[in-house]
Each structure stands twice: as C-alpha cells, then as structure tokens.
Amino acid sequence: MPTESDTGYDPSLGRKFIFVTGGVMSGLGKGITAASTGRLLANAGFDVTAVKIDPYLNVDAGTMNPFQHGEVYVLKDGGEVDLDLGNYERFLDIDMTFDHNVTTGKVYEHVINKERAGDYLGKTVQIIPHITDDIKRRIREAAEGSDVCIIEVGGTVGDIEGMPFLEALRQFAHEEDEEDILFTHVTLVPYSKNGEQKTKPTQHSVKELRSIGLQPDILVGRSPNPLDAETREKIALFCDVPVDAVFSNPDVEDIYHVPLALEEEGLDQYVLDHFELTESAATAEAYDTTWRETVTRETDDEVSVALVGKYGLEDAYISIHEALKHAGLQRKTAVDSHWIHSEELADGHDGRLDDVDGIVVPGGFGARGTEGKIEAIRYAREHDVPFLGLCLGFQMAVVEYARNVLGLPGAHSAELDSETPHPVIDLLPEQKDLDDMGGTMRLGTHITEIKEGTLAHELYDGTTCEERHRHRYEVNPAYIEDLEEAGLVFSGTSGRRMEILELPEHPYFFGTQFHPEFRSRPTRASPPFVGFLDGIHATRGDN
Ligand code: GLN
C-alpha cells in the first residue's frame, strides 16, 4: 500500500488516475502533454507515475524498427519499450519498469496462456470481460505506490486496436470514485486558409469518444498559437465541458517548456481542484521550482555536434539528443546536434566533419553505414575531435583501433562481417544458442567496475556505475590484451566484459558498451555526456 507522500496526502482517500487520449491525428505531442501534467503535479509534491498503453500487437517494442517507430527505450529492468516512456522518465525523474508499458501483445499473450492452462474453468474467454479485466489489473498494479498515475493511450480515438483499452477505461472509471478519475483528451486545432482556428476536428473526435461512453473532463488543444477565447468557448459548448477546462498547448521552443506553458494556463490547478487535492498540495511557496530554473537557464555558448548514424528519423536517437541537451543545461551550453548519414561518410567525409566540435556515434544494428561510422571515429581520433561512442559506437571504436592502430586489416564485428579474420567484437557466449529475437539481448541495468585514475573514474566520481544495456555482442576477450598494449584503455568492466574505453592522450575519446543516455535527466545530466561537452570546451580553449 502506498505510504503518505510529502504532501501529507492520505492515500486512503483514493489513488488518482488521469487518462489521456488523443484525437484527430497521432504525433500531436499527447505524451509530452501527459508527461508535463505529471511534472506539474510532481512539482506540487505528489508521487506521480505513468503507464503507456500501446495498442499494437507486438509484445514489446524490442523487435521494432527504429526507421518506423523511433528509438527503442530500455528500462532498468531490461524492458524494451516505446520511446514515450523515456519522456515520462525524463519529465517525472523516475525509473519505471516493464509493467508500465501495456501492449495488446502482452495482454493477449497473458490471457491466452491462462486459457491454455485451464484457469478460466471452461468459460468462454472474451474481450469483455477477460481482456478488459487484465488491462484494468495492469493499470492498478502499475499505479501501486504512487499518488497519481497518468495513463496514456497510444494512437487516436477510433482506431480499432484501441477499442478494448477504451472500453477498459470506461469500466475502470465506474469502479473508482468519480473524484479520483480524470479524462484528458488532446486534439489538434488546425487553422483554416484565412487564419481561423477550426474546432470541427475536435468536435468530431469528442463525439467519437462519447459514442463509446467516455466524456472528457479536460480538453487540450494543440495548435501553433494559443487558442482564442472564441475557440475555447466553441469547444466547451460542443464538447460539453466548462470553458475553463479547455486548455491551450501551443508550440514552444523546447519540449521542456511545455510544463511551464500548461502551468500558465492553470492546468495543474484545475487538476488539483478536480481531485480535491488543493488542500494536500504544497503551498505556493513550497512548490518545487527546480524544473523551471533548470530549463530556462541562459546559455553562454553553442557547440555543434555530429551524430553519425544510419537512422534518418529524428526520433531514432531521441534519448541521445535529450542527453546532450541535459549536459548542455548543466554546462550552460546550447548543443546543436545534427544527424549525418553514416553511409555518406564511407568514402571519406569530404569536409563534412570539419566544422563540428564533437562526434557521437550511437547504437545500432546491422552492417549498413558501419564503414562511415568507422571513418568518423578515425577522423575524431586522428584530429583530436571529442568523440563519444555508444554501444555500437563503442564497438566500432574498437574495430577502428584494431584496424588502424593495432594493424589488423579486416578486423570487424562478427555481427557485421561473419567472415572477418579478426572478430574483435564477437557474440556474447550466452547468446550462441538463442533462437528467439524478442527480449533476449543482454538488457537492462548492470554494474560496471571502474578503474581508479581513469577518465571514467573522474566522470562517474567513483569506482562503479550502473547503466542500462542492450546488446548481443561484446569485445572479444582474445583481443583485449593486444588492444590494451596498443594504447586503448578499458577503464570499465563487468566481469570479463569490457564496458568503457578511453584514450588517455586524446582530449576526449570515450566509448561505452552501455547506453548512458537512458539515465540522463534534465536536472541530472549523464556523466559521459557532460565529459563530452567539457572535452569540446577544452579543445576550443573555452575553459
Ligand atoms: N548491434 C550491437 C550488439 O548487438 C550493438 C547494439 C546497440 O548498439 N544497441 O551488440
């Protein structure tokens, strides 16, 4: 059972649930709206958590292609989930678990397994009640221990796949006290050719919602500009909500400013009033303003960072972009990170890397574009350009060193060239007999032991670090001694596994087998990223 939180809120009054649905079209920023609402409640002192519902049939996001879906986010328990969970972790500054991502695949797999086990005692197993019961159970379990749980339903109202979830929410609302439930619907408010804000798409989408028995309490209109008074009134009238329950969520220069914009709109106050939590909320003076102070910090300079990868979709590297931003907030530096297609660098960089202050080579799978990544790493190493290699980027740094310093022609990762004479990166032994691809990598948090006196030691300010992993390959133990003799330093290890590499003579050449980007937060930047910016500043002579 939850304990009393900092606000003195008595959980026996009932845990609060905020359901967030979306209308008109996907990609509206529904997740950011939901996470921002959570941030505001956390500022007021409540323990907030979130559940992301993904109505697709995949059990998890682990097998999904970043070209289509963006990054696969990794949780501490190894859950491979939708990138929205990354936003929740960053906005709420919490660590979530795999149970916080509910997919159709997970729910059906569980119910069908129970049916096969005979647990339904001969009954006909149906979407209502068996699937909907399982959805409700999952939401309640994930909410355990928090004051407020935000449940975001992926996709758009009206999608066939989302129906069982919306039905489960309808039932859920009936089972809880009215003042413990709040439905927020986020829609697009487009402009007509003559510059008028149009409410019809919102009206239609709310009509759709009401036809399945859900009445929104709050409407959030996404639009480039704030909603006009007239637009708000119209939405209120047609969608049957009070006019002060219609909120604007206009475009802002940075996603971390969305909570500030919603706060100015009074969304948090409205939610607290609805939940009858105003009395429990911290007094105005006690409101935590750390978020506001952090994200509005002035910057002193700007650096340009090249992200050399093969996935063209911005979302494919979202956690890395955010981690660079967090390091920038900490160092008062604006980071302009731009993507360079690794395939285009394969035959040399043609000056494309000349003007960048630092190079990041991110994680990835498959051979495409790897020669370009290796070229970029070589350039960084030879020209003293600060370099950060993450997972595959770490592995490619080992390959580059083996080829160009150790002198092993054709050295490669066995993943990318099965015929290589020097597989300096090889399959993890426990991966050898695996057939299934889903959820079978080395995943989640593992402890890395850090060697004293190294850069890693300085950055992490200690002899261990706990970071998240997602890989099948590792540095081949047969080559470690030779690589180290040639000057490469493995400053972090986990048993026989190499976790961190660095080059002492270089301004900043740092690679990690793990993904430090997943633990980076706006108010707690990740050490390798901060070190990277420090390396850039040192190289430019700023410090
Ligand atoms: N493909 C590499 C491996 O499986 C790297 C994975 C990654 O970058 N996440 O080990």
**In the CATH hierarchy, which fold is given to the domain comprising 297-540?**
Rossmann fold (3.40.50)
Q: Is 326 tagged catalytic?
A: no
Q: Which of 167, 391, 469, 474 is catalytic?
A: 391
| Cα dihedral 244→246→252→257 (10° resolution) | 60
Q: Is 382 tagged catalytic?
A: no
Shortest-distance Cα residue to atom 6 of ligand 1: 471
Cβ atoms of 243 and 232 closer than 8 Å: yes
Q: Where in the chain is the domain with CATH 3.40.50.880?
A: 297-540
| Span from the CA of 218 to the centroid of ligand 1 (angstroms) | 42
**In the CATH hierarchy, which fold is given to the domain comprising 16-103+137-293?**
Rossmann fold (3.40.50)
C-beta of 473 in contact with ligand 1 (< 6 A) = yes
Closest CA relative to residue 47, chosen from 83, 95, 101 = 95
Q: Residue 63: what pLDDT? A: 79
C-beta of 472 in contact with ligand 1 (< 6 A) = yes
Q: Which of 326, 349, 469, 515 is catalytic?
A: 515
C-beta of 363 in contact with ligand 1 (< 6 A) = yes
Q: Supply the pTM of this predicted model.
A: 0.94
Q: Residue 64: what pLDDT? A: 80
Closest CA relative to residue 52, chosen from 66, 35, 37, 68 = 35
Q: Where in the chain is the domain with CATH 3.40.50.300?
A: 16-103+137-293
| Closest approach atom of ligand 1 to CA 393 | 8
| Span from the CA of 513 to the centroid of ligand 1 (angstroms) | 8
| Span from the CA of 50 to the centroid of ligand 1 (angstroms) | 28
| Span from the CA of 364 to the centroid of ligand 1 (angstroms) | 6
Closest CA relative to residue 160, chosen from 22, 84, 61, 56 = 56
C-beta of 365 in contact with ligand 1 (< 6 A) = yes
Both structure tokens of 12:
């026996």
- Integer angstrom CA distances of residue 192 from 186, 197, 246, 490: 19, 6, 20, 59
| Span from the CA of 533 to the centroid of ligand 1 (angstroms) | 24
With H, G, I as helix, E, B as strand and everything else as coil, classify residue 53: strand
| Closest approach atom of ligand 1 to CA 428 | 10
Cα(196)–Cα(231) distance, rounded to whole angstroms? 9
From first to last of its 543 residues, the chain has per-residue pLDDT tens of 344 555 555 655 668 999 999 997 888 889 999 999 999 999 999 999 999 999 988 888 887 877 777 899 999 999 999 999 999 999 999 999 999 999 999 999 999 999 999 999 889 999 999 999 999 999 999 999 999 999 999 999 989 999 999 999 999 999 999 899 999 999 999 999 999 999 999 999 999 999 999 999 999 999 999 999 999 999 999 999 999 999 999 999 999 999 999 999 999 999 999 998 887 777 666 788 899 999 999 999 999 999 998 877 778 899 999 999 999 999 999 999 988 888 887 777 777 888 899 999 999 888 888 999 999 999 999 999 999 999 999 999 999 999 999 999 999 999 999 999 999 999 988 888 777 777 788 899 999 999 999 999 999 999 999 999 999 999 999 999 999 999 999 999 999 899 999 999 999 999 999 999 999 999 999 999 999 999 999 998 864
Shortest-distance Cα residue to atom 1 of ligand 1: 365
Shortest-distance Cα residue to atom 5 of ligand 1: 392
C-beta of 392 in contact with ligand 1 (< 6 A) = yes
Cα(345)–Cα(353) distance, rounded to whole angstroms? 9
Shortest-distance Cα residue to atom 3 of ligand 1: 471
| Span from the CA of 436 to the centroid of ligand 1 (angstroms) | 16
Q: Is 391 tagged catalytic?
A: yes
Cα(213)–Cα(328) distance, rounded to whole angstroms? 46
C-beta of 470 in contact with ligand 1 (< 6 A) = yes
C-beta of 66 in contact with ligand 1 (< 6 A) = no
Which residue is associated with the tokens 């529904």? Answer: 30
